[in-house]
Amino acid sequence: WDEFAAPGAPSMDFIFTVCDNAAGEVCPLWPGHPTSAHWGIEDPAAVEGPEFRKRAAFDDALTYMRNRISAFINLPIASIDRLALKAKLQAIGAMDGATSPKPEVA
């Protein structure tokens, strides 16, 4: 993600993390001060076992992301303030299939 924080990088309006590890990291200062939210889902690449379980994990991840994107594109972005928008983005991240960042274990 460093290339998006480099000088001359395009400014973004929104940034969504989906990996729980990324949610716990310190993010760079993004050009344009985009609104960000965590939309965590289980990493389908981490699933072990038979091929059908791996395939199901990717299918589930796709469904969860598709549902979140659909909810996002249907937000009335032009008519809500930044604080309300942030709350709505967090609610989208809590939809079916949501995960939480794992706490650091010493």
Amino acid type, 86 = K
Ramachandran region, residue 23 (left: φ > 0; alpha: ψ -120 to 50; beta: rest):
alpha
Q: What is the pLDDT of residue 6?
A: 80
pLDDT at 105 over 90: no
pLDDT mean over 4-26 = 79
Q: What is the pLDDT of residue 94?
A: 93
pLDDT at 85 over 90: yes
Q: What tens digit of pLDDT does each residue of 21-77 get? A: 665 667 677 778 889 899 999 999 999 999 999 999 999 999 999 999 999 999 999
Residue 92, phi then psi, degrees to nearest 5: -60, -40
Structural domain spans, the chain: 2-93
